[in-house]
Structure 1
Amino acid sequence: MRTSERHTRPDDARPDLVGARMRRFRTERGLTLRGLAARSGLSIGFLSQVERGVSSIGLTALNSVAAALDRPVAEFFDDGSAPAEEVPPARLPTHFTLTRAASGATEYVSGQQTYRMLSDRGPNLVLEPMLVHIAPGGRRDEAYGHGGEEFAYVVSGELLYEVDGVEHRLYPGDSLHLRSNAPHRLYNDTDEVTTVVSVVTPRLF
């Protein structure tokens, strides 16, 4: 059983919402874009585009920004509405979680991508499994490397996955698994939504 649940509605998750939060948190810490770039490993130009709502940012890159600003990733999506009703905490086993479809799922929207969390939190678990819907078009995120591993399995649609500057086109049933320190980015260049099962480490939320 999850201890709390936050839902981000598509109409609240404007493409510029995450960027606006990023700018606010950065200025509150007295950081320049150059300072945030140095701490997060992302370029000044890309961070500027995200803050202005010109580009979106993937969850793994946002995780580095959040760490640099000492903020939880979830705070970049909070729309300021009333918090979700707290569910009484349950005693969780240390070795597994069980997530029922009927319990609902938390979703986060960043630009062209909607992330649906597929697993409740587990005290000693490190994987972050997600169902990701990637809308067509939009701007390509900046290629970015980070710690951990990343796995993507295409359920429907097509996906361009660039690793170390080489593009790989994935179709339904195709998958890709990499050490995430290799610069990588993904993009949907078709006219339809692409759905991907994605598993990353470490956990983002």
Structure 2
Amino acid sequence: MRATARQDRVDNNGQALVGARMRQFRKERGLTLRGLATQSGLSIGFLSQVERGISAIGLTALNGVAAALDRPVAEFFHEEDQAAPPPAPTDDLPDHFTLTRAQNGATEYVSGQTTYRMLSDRGPHLVLEPMVVHIAPGGRREEAYGHAGEEFAYVVSGELLYEVDGVEHRLYPGDSLHLRSSTPHRLYNDTDEVTTVVSVVTPRLF
């Protein structure tokens, strides 16, 4: 399935919005790009490209930026006059599990060529972030990035180029990869079809 022109426009709009919100929050905090780079562990050049809508940023890297700017990740995906939905109250939820029904729908976030579909409701003491990730062809490769936690990816369809500590691994349907996220890593779809991946990361992003 090739990416359509309409999908490209949607992806680019989402990418530009994330970058614009990043710039807004950074300036509100009185941070320079250099200061944000120091606090997030990402390069000045990459952050500049994200802010200008040239490059997309993955959710785990965005989580580091959000922490540096003291903002929830969800706020980067909403226009200023469209408030992000408040987090679901967890006081009345059981500590040990959540149950998410398919018919309840799922929250989706779009950054550049990548759509993240969250698979689990919030739980007060749960640390895994399970997602279905759709990666459209093309786009720029995001910067290799290390962060706290662990990361698991299972390819459902398509192909995925996954770079870990400078070494590229091509994953096919049924292949999986599990790593300590502190190792610099990045992923990319260099084919002409959408790649679908089940991904689980820690810590939770939302």
Is the contact between residue 11 and residue 110 of structure 2 (CA under 8 Å) also seen in structure 1? no
- Counterpart CA distance in 1 for 2:121 and 2:26 is 30
Is the contact between residue 73 and residue 204 of structure 1 (CA under 8 Å) also seen in structure 2? yes
Give the equivalent residue in structure 2 for 1:188: 189
- Pair 1:19-2:9 in alignment: no
Q: Residue 169 of structure 2 aligns to a residue in which SS? A: strand
Give the equivalent residue in structure 1 for 2:58: 58
Structure 1 residues 200 and 83 mapped into 2: Cα distance closer, same or farther (>3 Å)? Answer: closer
Structure 1 residues 171 and 84 mapped into 2: Cα distance closer, same or farther (>3 Å)? Answer: same
Give the equivalent residue in structure 1 for 2:78: 78
- Counterpart CA distance in 1 for 2:105 and 2:76 is 21
- Pair 1:107-2:111 in alignment: no
Give the equivalent residue in structure 2 for 1:3: none
- Counterpart CA distance in 1 for 2:70 and 2:89 is 27
Structure 1 residues 36-185: aligned runs within 5 Å: 36-79=36-79, 80-81=81-82, 91-185=92-186
Gaps of 5+ in 1: 1-9
Q: Residue 142 of structure 1 aligns to a residue in which SS? A: coil
TM superposition shift of 1:15 = 1.8
Of Structure 1 and Structure 2, the greater helix share is in 2
TM superposition shift of 1:91 = 2.2
Is the contact between residue 150 and residue 201 of structure 2 (CA under 8 Å) also seen in structure 1? yes
Structure 2 residue identity aligned to 1:61? A
- Counterpart CA distance in 2 for 1:42 and 1:87 is 30
Is the contact between residue 13 and residue 109 of structure 1 (CA under 8 Å) also seen in structure 2? no
Give the TM-score taking structure 2 as reference length: 0.90
Detail structure 1 runs of 4+ shifted over 2 Å in the superposition.
10-14, 79-91
Structure 1 residues 64 and 87 mapped into 2: Cα distance closer, same or farther (>3 Å)? Answer: closer
Structure 1 range deviating more: 10-19 or 77-86: 77-86
Q: Residue 74 of structure 1 aligns to a residue in which SS? A: helix
Structure 1 residues 99 and 67 mapped into 2: Cα distance closer, same or farther (>3 Å)? Answer: same
- Counterpart CA distance in 2 for 1:61 and 1:86 is 21
TM superposition shift of 1:81 = 2.8
Equivalent residue pairs, number: 196
Is the contact between residue 46 and residue 55 of structure 1 (CA under 8 Å) also seen in structure 2? yes
| Deviation per residue, 1:96-142 (Å, 9 max, x gap) | 00000010000000011000000000011000000000000000000
Is the contact between residue 153 and residue 197 of structure 1 (CA under 8 Å) also seen in structure 2? yes
Q: Residue 14 of structure 2 aligns to a residue in which SS? A: coil
- Counterpart CA distance in 2 for 1:202 and 1:88 is 19
Is the contact between residue 13 and residue 77 of structure 1 (CA under 8 Å) also seen in structure 2? no
Give the TM-score taking structure 1 as reference length: 0.91
- How much is the aligned-residue C-alpha RMSD, in angstroms? 1.9
- Counterpart CA distance in 2 for 1:54 and 1:136 is 16
Structure 2 residue identity aligned to 1:48? S
| Deviation per residue, 1:56-75 (Å, 9 max, x gap) | 00000000000000000000
Question: What is the percent sequence identity of the aligned residues?
Answer: 82
